A and B are shown apart, each in its own frame.
Chain A
């Protein structure tokens, strides 16, 4: 019993550590991210003043980096749903230490993704027209509906399982932290005291939410794909698009989660809880999704390429041989094949290998979104010379600012909220230690955990 309470104490200290101590490096990082965001704000002010003429987009390629980044961010927001809802439903116990991070990523990525739609608008001052005059016939409205629903759902789903941990923060930090923090935790813990009745309510609330959030998440990236698939453009003319986008979303979500896990693990010394097992398991999942993506690509390309209808020849030429060939081949080989190889080879089946694979996948999936958006518009519709598109410094700056905002929000979150689901990890631990025969079952994972520290 003493060992258990000592274990608890260590877990709580690990969870509280980011809030208790803030080093110089943290502030340096925040300052750097703020500087990047500030630069992005300047670029955006230039765009507001002069119009979208400061971007590389023109009439014939009228969407570009912004929309690609929007799709990318909405995609990685699927990390949280996958890890905490799908894995929770399938009762994969190993997920508990990383659920909170995944849910953070979801909320933050949605906020960043939605802001890129606003950035892309020619008239951001009229964005409320979407609510005033919104037409249900438009895929954009489906998106607004799906993304706002998903944002509300995922904020709720982030918040509800966090209540016991917020109560922990409220109690442990009472009188020992700034007034706003004390107030924040008191309000957000909504009177949690850990009674059996409360815990039952919590369990049923989580149960309902995790079932609700899965169809919402699937719908989100499906309707994002329909923005493209509902138009009469050859490369986007595919009934597979919805499923293809959802698979790609989860795929890139896992990659971002692995990267964030690796950074937070190192920054906040979570080695005991976030272990090699998590990286390897997620790496396997990522490899599985890479296989699904390969399958989807073959299905898509073969069906179109076999018939080679009008416009398809141009499209195939541009992605396999001409302008977009380097990007597309990197996506196929570096983004889809490499992660599978890395996950399969014993030599690279470790944290470093998985992080490398994740970085590859992240780049490849952003590139895939970019290639989908730009090549779709690049196929000429009428007898004119194909247009060209290259993002300008304004677009690159806003992409950098978007990524910095993503990193900043995660960084700030980790300083305010518990980054580990303390009560869930504790519950799992107790179940493992307390149940009969637990020693035998615990032996293997424990060995895995220690070899990694």
Chain B
């Protein structure tokens, strides 16, 4: 497609010369039949000019794929650091190492809140603390069948994977891993394509399909990816692991809410975890109790560990199925809000 000569001059007289050459070309090439509809109307367009227009036209659209880089270079992406992080500096141990948040869920102590006769308190505490819209259960208590019959309850927050499939697929970096090992979502950047929901193997991502019902006080909250209040229509939400609370020495809502103290929260870097009553050495606690992670074979490397069990430590009978359905307390407060089923 390149012009045959190396000339770069493109002054107006060039075109005349070009046109002449084109005519000459035609003269020395008499065998080439000119179709009856081809009119030579004395136009100044020669072969080179024709090629130039063609080439420029193509070049004009070629940059499309590199547009993102160009826009970034032009500073259009200013305003937000990249990648986005939560508001806080990462928490550090006394000797300056970044804390690695973890959660250990002792299934021996989880009875799905059957003994208190209420919907699971971890879910309820999380919903109240985060003003989580109906029908989101950022920590959801699944009821799974046991191999020998009966059921067990599995409280399931976001697994905070260290090889997170959701982060890998996000087109805009709206969901990201933090130095503390958590996975957060920036709802101010999310475009709502939902590929992260397709990618998450734990069903732990929730979409704001409509204007979520939230209480008025949620609107006063300071939004940050670590504190996803208020909910924003058309974006994805999930458990954020409450790193903002952990930094101030407060345990996440779900840990506080558990009546059986089945959920431990801690820091792998300092090897410590607590359920609010006892403090354990995380590594020892995990090793001694045969801890496992959900769908370990997928290679997602979750930060949430489970100690196998079915509520036996709190006297649960595995053949008593069902837990109370989750409730969202602000339905009657939020007038005109729409809800949806999961």
Chain A residues whose C-beta falls within 8 Å of the C-beta of B221 in the assembled complex: none
Q: In the bound complex, how far is the Cα of B41 from the Cα of A181, in angstroms?
A: 19
CB <8 Å contact, B26 and A152: no
Mask, A19-42, CB within 8 Å of B = 1, is 000000000000000000000000
CB <8 Å contact, A190 and B26: no
Output the least CB separation between B256 and chain A (Å). Answer: 24
Q: Does A90 contact B (CB under 8 A)?
A: no
Output the least CB separation between A226 and chain B (Å). Answer: 10
Output the least CB separation between B296 and chain A (Å). Answer: 13
Chain A residues whose C-beta falls within 8 Å of the C-beta of B40 in the assembled complex: 193-195
CB <8 Å contact, A193 and B51: no
Q: In the bound complex, how far is the Cα of B56 from the Cα of A190, in angstroms?
A: 12
Known: A122-B233, A134-B171, A152-B62. A199 touches B43 (CB 8 A): no
Q: Does B44 contact A (CB under 8 A)?
A: yes
CB <8 Å contact, A196 and B197: no
Output the least CB separation between A116 and chain B (Å). Answer: 12
Chain B residues whose C-beta falls within 8 Å of the C-beta of A141 in the assembled complex: 68, 171
Q: Does B53 contact A (CB under 8 A)?
A: yes
Q: Does A377 contact B (CB under 8 A)?
A: yes
CB <8 Å contact, B65 and A145: yes
Q: Does A178 contact B (CB under 8 A)?
A: no
**Restricting to A142-159, which residues have a CB under 8 Å from any CB of B?**
144-145, 148-149, 152, 155-156, 159
Mask, B219-263, CB within 8 Å of A = 1, is 000000000000001111000000000000000000000000000
Q: In the bound complex, how far is the Cα of B191 from the Cα of A132, in angstroms?
A: 12
CB <8 Å contact, A201 and B51: yes
Mask, B294-330, CB within 8 Å of A = 1, is 0000101000000000000000000000000000000
Among the 9-residue stretches A94-102, A167-175, A238-246, A252-260, the one with 4 or more Cβ atoms under 8 Å from chain B is A167-175
CB <8 Å contact, A423 and B189: no
Q: Does B333 contact A (CB under 8 A)?
A: no
- Which range contains the number of B residues in contact with the other chain? 35 or more
Q: In the bound complex, how far is the Cα of B197 from the Cα of A377, in angstroms?
A: 10
Q: Does B34 contact A (CB under 8 A)?
A: yes
Chain B residues whose C-beta falls within 8 Å of the C-beta of A200 in the assembled complex: 47
Output the least CB separation between B328 and chain A (Å). Answer: 15
Mask, A347-362, CB within 8 Å of B = 1, is 0000000000000000
**Restricting to A101-159, which residues have a CB under 8 Å from any CB of B?**
117, 120-123, 126-127, 129-135, 137-141, 144-145, 148-149, 152, 155-156, 159
Q: In the bound complex, how far is the Cα of B169 from the Cα of A135, in angstroms?
A: 9
Q: Does A316 contact B (CB under 8 A)?
A: no
Q: In the bound complex, how far is the Cα of B208 from the Cα of A51, in angstroms?
A: 8
CB <8 Å contact, B210 and A383: no
Q: Does A52 contact B (CB under 8 A)?
A: yes
Identify which of B36, B61, B168, B201 contacts A381 (C-beta below 8 A): B201
Known: A123-B234, A168-B37, A193-B38. A63 touches B198 (CB 8 A): yes
Chain A residues whose C-beta falls within 8 Å of the C-beta of B202 in the assembled complex: 381-382
Q: Does B284 contact A (CB under 8 A)?
A: no
Chain B residues whose C-beta falls within 8 Å of the C-beta of A228 in the assembled complex: 198
Q: Does A197 contact B (CB under 8 A)?
A: yes
CB <8 Å contact, B35 and A194: yes
**Restricting to B2-57, which residues have a CB under 8 Å from any CB of A?**
21-23, 25-26, 29, 32-41, 43-47, 49-51, 53-54, 57
Q: Does B64 contact A (CB under 8 A)?
A: yes
In chain B, what residue has the closest Cβ to A193?
B40
Output the least CB separation between B125 and chain A (Å). Answer: 21
Identify which of B26, B41, B342 contacts A59 (C-beta below 8 A): B342
Chain A residues whose C-beta falls within 8 Å of the C-beta of B58 in the assembled complex: 156
Q: Does B116 contact A (CB under 8 A)?
A: no
Q: Does B192 contact A (CB under 8 A)?
A: yes
Known: A152-B64, A194-B34. A53 touches B195 (CB 8 A): no
Chain B residues whose C-beta falls within 8 Å of the C-beta of A140 in the assembled complex: 169, 171, 193, 195
Most chain-B Cβ atoms within 10 A of its Cβ — which of A52, A200, A426? A52
Q: Does B158 contact A (CB under 8 A)?
A: no
Output the least CB separation between A67 and chain B (Å). Answer: 9
Known: A156-B57, A231-B165, A383-B145. A196 touches B50 (CB 8 A): no
Q: In the bound complex, how far is the Cα of B313 from the Cα of A217, in angstroms?
A: 60
Chain A residues whose C-beta falls within 8 Å of the C-beta of B39 in the assembled complex: 167, 171, 193-194
CB <8 Å contact, A134 and B172: yes
CB <8 Å contact, B37 and A422: yes
Q: Does B290 contact A (CB under 8 A)?
A: no
Chain B residues whose C-beta falls within 8 Å of the C-beta of A387 in the assembled complex: 342
Q: Does B154 contact A (CB under 8 A)?
A: yes
Q: Does B335 contact A (CB under 8 A)?
A: no
In chain B, what residue has the closest Cβ to A373?
B198
Among the 9-residue stretches B71-79, B92-100, B107-115, the one with 4 or more Cβ atoms under 8 Å from chain A is B71-79
Output the least CB separation between B312 and chain A (Å). Answer: 19
Identify which of B61, B201, B207 contacts A62 (C-beta below 8 A): B207
CB <8 Å contact, B47 and A195: yes
CB <8 Å contact, B189 and A126: yes
Identify which of B33, B203, B208 contacts A384 (C-beta below 8 A): B203
Q: Does A451 contact B (CB under 8 A)?
A: no
Output the least CB separation between B305 and chain A (Å). Answer: 17
Chain A residues whose C-beta falls within 8 Å of the C-beta of B45 in the assembled complex: 190-193, 198
CB <8 Å contact, A132 and B209: no
CB <8 Å contact, B205 and A148: no
Q: Does B199 contact A (CB under 8 A)?
A: yes
CB <8 Å contact, A195 and B37: no
CB <8 Å contact, B65 and A149: yes
Q: In the bound complex, how far is the Cα of B33 from the Cα of A426, in angstroms?
A: 12
Known: A133-B189, A198-B22. A59 touches B338 (CB 8 A): no
Output the least CB separation between A347 and chain B (Å). Answer: 41
CB <8 Å contact, A139 and B195: yes
In chain B, what residue has the closest Cβ to A200?
B47
Identify which of A120, A138, A208, A423 contacts B169 (C-beta below 8 A): A138
Q: In the bound complex, how far is the Cα of B233 from the Cα of A134, in angstroms?
A: 21
Chain B residues whose C-beta falls within 8 Å of the C-beta of A167 in the assembled complex: 37-39
Known: A191-B43, A192-B45. A59 touches B199 (CB 8 A): no
In chain A, what residue has the closest Cβ to B190?
A123
Identify which of B22, B154, B192, B298 contacts A122 (C-beta below 8 A): B192
Q: In the bound complex, how far is the Cα of B172 from the Cα of A51, in angstroms?
A: 21
Chain B residues whose C-beta falls within 8 Å of the C-beta of A430 in the assembled complex: 33
Known: A231-B198, A382-B156. A191 touches B50 (CB 8 A): yes
Q: Which 9 A-B pairs have the closest CB atoms?
A: A122-B192, A194-B38, A191-B45, A122-B234, A53-B210, A140-B171, A197-B47, A53-B209, A134-B68
Residues of B in contact with A (beta carbons under 8 Å apart) = 1, 21-23, 25-26, 29, 32-41, 43-47, 49-51, 53-54, 57-58, 61-62, 64-65, 67-68, 71-72, 76-77, 82, 142-145, 154, 156, 165, 168-174, 189-195, 197-203, 205-211, 233-236, 298, 300, 338, 340-342
A sample of 23 inter-chain contacts (CB < 8 A) reads: A8-B36, A50-B211, A51-B209, A52-B210, A53-B210, A58-B340, A59-B203, A62-B194, A117-B193, A123-B191, A123-B234, A126-B190, A133-B77, A133-B174, A140-B169, A167-B39, A191-B43, A193-B41, A194-B35, A195-B23, A195-B26, A197-B25, A231-B169
